[in-house]
Amino acid sequence: MTQTLTIPRPDDWHLHLRDGAMLQAVLPETARHFGRAIIMPNLVPPVVRGDQAAAYRDRILAALPEGMAFEPLMTLYLTEDTDPEDVAAAHASGLVKAVKLYPAGATTNSASGVTNFDNVRPVLEKMAEIGLPLCTHGEVTDNHIDIFDREAVFIDRVLDPIRKATPGLRVVMEHITTRNAADYVASQDTDLGATITTHHLIINRNHILAGGIKPHYYCLPVAKREEHRLALRAAAVSGDKRYFLGTDSAPHTDPNKLSECGCAGCFTATNTMSLLAHVFEEEGALDKLAGFASENGPAFYRLPVSRETLTLRKSEAAAEFPKKIETGDGPVTVFDPGFPVYWHADS
């Protein structure tokens, strides 16, 4: 028996598209199912000014295959030299929908991120004034802080002080991975939201480390204990509008994933919607999938919900996903959940 679920066309509120040959190859994997996406600015060099964001948007649209509709929602990379007026102008033009905070050294291409948060206070105050959200990679980078504790320490040491010092600043905690983060969001007002990735709903740290190291499950923030994965699931299916989908789909070629210092990131653009239907069905919450994937994100970003739809169909035959996406830079491995999935997303 076929079971169907139709939802507004979903959006991805945290996406890496890279540039050049990689962009050409991975963009269709997102545009097949998603209408819009918040595009991460951590290119080399990073997208720090409005004119750079406009140029990157143009490259994305030029790479979009004919017949596909997709709207890239651009962001700026926050540095200690960011000009508040440039940020305000880029936002006023409709181009930029958020500014991204990377603590320096926290993740891929984050070397230009923030070290001294006092130096970005004028930008944050301007953003609070104009209603422009701040997206945060929520980890401290101190070497003496255990990697599994860095998100919780970030909340106490960086995020909460920033929010208290900047009333009205709208913040998205991106790719939360802990019960601490989910509980913090639930305890705050509606100026705070959080994205949750597909892979953090499926894997815990055992998937990376038990029975041999699995590089394709390595991501940042790193997956945590099972209790945290279950807390994320509970948040995602709760119906609370402060939680929404941000895949953090992050393509790296296999040689870069499998190197001595393997890159962090899971590539989930291809199969996210099928995997989410599986997860939400497991949780008895298929009726909450539209909110998480299609409605809560637009509400936070003050954008309309898509008028288009996506239909998911469950059948007796397992969905087949490609193991790899071939790009001009090399092969990219598609996230493997480790179990059969029977939900198919219409293209």
Domains delineated in the chain:
3-345 (3.20.20.140)
- Distance, in Å, from the CA atom of 219 to the CA atom of 225, rounded to the nearest integer, reads 14
Instruction: Specify whether the CB–CB gap between 256 and 262 falls below 8 A.
Output: yes
- Within 13 Å and on the Cβ side, how many CA atoms surround 89? 10
- Which of these, 233, 157, 147, lies nearest to 198 by C-alpha position? 233
pLDDT in the model for residue 258:
97
pLDDT attached to residue 112: 64
Cα-based angle 241, 242, 246 (whole degrees, multiple of 5): 105
Give every residue of the chain whose pLDDT is below 50, as ranges: none
Is 174 within 8 Å of 226 (Cβ atoms)? Answer: no
* pLDDT for residue 115: 79
What pLDDT is recorded for position 189? 85
Which pLDDT value is given to residue 106? 60
pLDDT given for residue 229 in this prediction: 98
Residues classed as catalytic = 248
HEC assignment per residue over the chain: CCEEEEEECCCEEEECCCCHHHHHHHHHHHHCCCCEEEECCCCCCCCCCHHHHHHHHHHHHHHCCCCCCCEEEEEEECCCCCCHHHHHHHHHCCCEEEEEECECCCCCCCCCCECCHHHHHHHHHHHHHHCCCEEEECCCCCCCCCHHHHHHHHHHHHHHHHHHHCCCCCEEEECCCCHHHHHHHHCCCCCEEEEECCHHHCCCHHHHHCCCCCHHHCCCCCCCCHHHHHHHHHHHCCCCCCEEECCCECCCCHHHHCCCCCCCCCECCCCHHHHHHHHHHHCCCHHHHHHHHHHHHHHHHCCCCCCCEEEEEECCCCCCCCCEEEECCEEEEECCCCCCCCEEECC
Site of tokens 């919607």: 273
Q: Please tell me the pTM assigned to this model.
A: 0.96
Residue pair 176/195 in contact by the 8 Å Cβ criterion: yes
The three-point CA angle 312-317-318 to 5° equals 75
Pair of tokens at residue 73: 């929602």
pLDDT at 111: 63
